[in-house]
Structures are given as structure tokens and as C-alpha cells.
């Protein structure tokens, strides 16, 4: 597999602001199959880096808007059908060096669902977390290192009740997560506890249509 390694400091020179000095905000998305859902944009545009775990299909999904400083992505199984050219020129695997550790990004279609987390941990032991997609289902597995994160589908295809995403806050000393899901009543957001480990799937979080009040750590 082709692996591309990037240090986040090469992506943005913007002075970082946030709830703590040095906080880096990353919007984690996957499986848009086209543009990112508008309901998620208000929050994702406040992130410093947008990270796409594949099945982009449309370059508009990688459009940099608002205060996004950079967008990175990997190739999904639908981004280059057999025999077709890779129009977006995406790598198979991305290794993103962040404050406090490494985030590996891979679509995940080459790993059977039943053993995906175990195989990703085996293949990328250097990571603090592995971001994958493919299932269109949100999952946060922090039962062991590296974490295995799936933000669900951030577009309009097979969203399972609403487009979803994760926001990762990376400091040198710790990483924290916020979940996002679009619902008819408004955007729902919730924090994943910084201290409780384990596996959770698709938590809805409390409803709050005002994205300015997203519960940043």
C-alpha cells in the first residue's frame, strides 16, 4: 500500500487558537460520496484540518471553506474503480503526525468488518489512533491503543439516520473527541469522556441546532 507521511506543521502555519494553548482541531469525515452535508459544515469549517477517510468521489468534498487551513484525504474503494484512472490522486494510507502522536488514515475496505479493529491495530502499532471509513457507521473504539475511529458517512448516502463526523482535539499531552450527527431537529453533538475507555457506536448526543454552542473540550 502507498503510504504518505505528513507533519501537520507543513499543512498550516496559522497561529492556533482554541480552548487551550496549542490545541489543534481536526474534522474527521468519511464516505461523503460527494459534497459534505451542509448541516456539518458550520462545525467542520471551524477546524484547522479536515481529514477524509475515503470514498470522496467528488472533489467538492475536499473544498476548503471557512477557517479550514488544510484538507487531506485517502482513497476509498469507490474512488478508483477497477481499470479507471485515479482522478483525485489520493494515497492509500496517510500518516499524519500531530501533537501527541500519529493519526493513520485508511479507508478500511481491505479489512473484514469482524476483524477490522484488530487488524488495523496489528498493522499500524505506531499510531495513537487509526481513522477509517467504509462501513458508513460511526464507531469509536478506545478499548486499546491505537484507537480505531470511524466517523460514519458525512454526505447524503447511507448515513444511517443523519450525516455524521468526529472532531479530534490534539494536544501534546492528550487527545479528545466530539461526535456530530445531523438530525431533522438540528445538529447533535456530544463529548466522548476523556477518561472512559471502551467501544461505542453511533451515540446521538443532545440536540442543539446552534453549532456555535458545540461542546468543545
Question: pTM of the prediction?
Answer: 0.89
Q: What is the mean pLDDT of the chain?
A: 84
The closest of 155, 127, 140 to 203, measured between CA atoms, is 140
Q: What's the pLDDT tens digit per position in 102-151?
A: 999 999 999 999 999 999 999 999 999 999 999 999 999 999 999 999 99
> Could you confirm whether domain 3-210 is CATH 3.60.21.10?
yes
Burial class (CB within 10 angstroms; exposed 0-12, middle 13-18, buried 19+) of 88: middle
What are the residue ranges spanned by the domains of the chain?
Answer: 3-210
Spatial strand order of the sheet with 147-151 comes to 3-7, 93-98, 101-106, 129-131, 147-151, 138-141, 199-200
115 alpha-carbon distance from chain centroid = 20
Confidence of residue 70 (pLDDT cuts 50, 70, 90): confident
* pLDDT at res. 59: 79
pLDDT digits (tens, 9 = 90+) for 145-200: 999 999 999 998 888 889 999 999 999 999 999 999 998 878 888 888 888 888 88
* Gap between the Cα atoms of 125 and 133, Å rounded: 19
Inter-residue contact 50 to 44 (CB < 8 Å): yes
Q: Please, which residues have CB within 8 angstroms of residue 157's CB and are 6 or more apart in sequence?
A: 31, 32, 33, 34, 136
Distances in whole angstroms, Cα of residue 135 to Cα of each of 1, 75, 100, 110, 195: 20, 15, 28, 12, 27
Amino acid at each position: 500500500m502507498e503510504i504518505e507521511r505528513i507533519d501537520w506543521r507543513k499543512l498550516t502555519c496559522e497561529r492556533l487558537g482554541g480552548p487551550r494553548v496549542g490545541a489543534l482541531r481536526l474534522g474527521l469525515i468519511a464516505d461523503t460520496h460527494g459534497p459534505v452535508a451542509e448541516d456539518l459544515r458550520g462545525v467542520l469549517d471551524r477546524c484547522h484540518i479536515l481529514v477524509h477517510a475515503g470514498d470522496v468521489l467528488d472533489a467538492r468534498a475536499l473544498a476548503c471553506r471557512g477557517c479550514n487551513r488544510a484538507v487531506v484525504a485517502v482513497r476509498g474503494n469507490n474512488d478508483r474503480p477497477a481499470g479507471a484512472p485515479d482522478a483525485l490522486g489520493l494515497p492509500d494510507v496517510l500518516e499524519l503526525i500531530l501533537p501527541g502522536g500519529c493519526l493513520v488514515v485508511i479507508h478500511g475496505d481491505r479489512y473484514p468488518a469482524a476483524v477490522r479493529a484488530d487488524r488495523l491495530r496489528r498493522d499500524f502499532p505506531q499510531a495513537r489512533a487509526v481513522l477509517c471509513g467504509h462501513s458508513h457507521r460511526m464507531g469509536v473504539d478506545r478499548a486499546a491503543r491505537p484507537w480505531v475511529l470511524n466517523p460514519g458517512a458525512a454526505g447524503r448516502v447511507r448515513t444511517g439516520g443523519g450525516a455524521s463526523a468526529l472532531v479530534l482535539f490534539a494536544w501534546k499531552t492528550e487527545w479528545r473527541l466530539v461526535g456530530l450527527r445531523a438530525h431533522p431537529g438540528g445538529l447533535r453533538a456530544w463529548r466522548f469522556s476523556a477518561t472512559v475507555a471502551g467501544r461505542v457506536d453511533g451515540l446521538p448526543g443532545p440536540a442543539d441546532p446552534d453549532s456555535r454552542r458545540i461542546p468543545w473540550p
